[in-house]
Amino acid sequence: MKFATTLFCALSLAAAALHAQVPMTPEDLIARNLGPRDTTNNPFPAHKIIGNIYFVGPQALGSFLISTPAGLILINSDFEVTVPVIRASVEKLGFKMTDIKILLGSHAHGDHMEGDAMIKELTGAQVIAMAEDVPALQAMKPGGKAHPIDKIIHDGEQVTLGGTTLTAHLTPGHTKGCTTWTLKAEEGGKTYDVVIVGSAGVNPGVQLVNNKDYPNIAEDFRKTFDVLRSLPCDVPLGSHPGMYNMAAKYAKLQAGGPNPYIDPEGYRVELDINDAVYWRVLAAQKKAAGK
């Protein structure tokens, strides 16, 4: 009996600890994704994720470098103050910033695309943006600089460089033009489906009910979950490393063994977490609105 009681207590504590780690509210998601605000831009070791895909961002912001024989593709410039961190990471990997030919983004928030103008100045890269996010990007003018947009794309269009093709999936809600990028990566003689999620998270204070500026926001989030669940995914990545548990996976990567970034189950779990938060917020807001 004593053993059973001890075991029950241990399991209960483990379950409680696990529950505490799972984001349950928008505030939980933000805390997990960004961490302490004064550490968001702290450097994180630049490293190869899989195939020709590399991580070059700071510890709380997802910036990815894709190498091709025709040059480099960068996804997410992050804040302007992050650009030197990205540059240092690119160079530590043995690449040149001036070889960045294309700049893509996850969505029109400053922590992911504020640095576009600076990257453009440093590299001359072609800046490509989803049509629905263009107004928000045009309003993003750090230091008064106009936001560069060289090409506007739409849902399902592709971007190709040096034999690597990325497909843009409109996954709105977080922003109207939030974009999830998919591509193939090869490693060990196998081909893997990579999904770089723009975001499926409801931020604190976002109004899903009676939103005058974005009337169909709740419906757009539902479409996004449908799209994301339909995508084949072996390697989940995202606009914040916390979305795919990068720190733990990087530690495993250093220890050797199978590539921990190959994690289809982790993709499903992350979608379930964001979906559950969405429904909680929607239900609470509908109740408050008397619906």
Residue 54 lies in a domain: yes
Residue 8 lies in a domain: no
Residue 106 lies in a domain: yes
Domain, as residue range, for 162:
26-288
CATH of residue 168:
3.60.15.10
Cβ contacts of 14 within 8 Å, gap of 6 or more: none
Residue 11 lies in a domain: no
Which has the closest alpha carbon to 150: 177, 117, 178, 114?
Answer: 117
Residue 116 lies in a domain: yes
Render pLDDT for 106-149 as a digit per residue (tens, 0 to 9): 999 999 999 999 999 999 999 999 999 999 999 999 999 999 99
Residue 5 lies in a domain: no
Residue 220 lies in a domain: yes
Render pLDDT for 66-112 as a digit per residue (tens, 0 to 9): 999 999 999 999 999 999 999 999 999 999 999 999 999 999 999 99
DSSP string, 128-192: EEEGGGHHHHHT--GGGPPPP--EEE-TT-EEEETTEEEEEEE--SSSTT-EEEEEEEEETTEEE
* Length of the chain, in residues: 291
The number of domains in the chain is 1
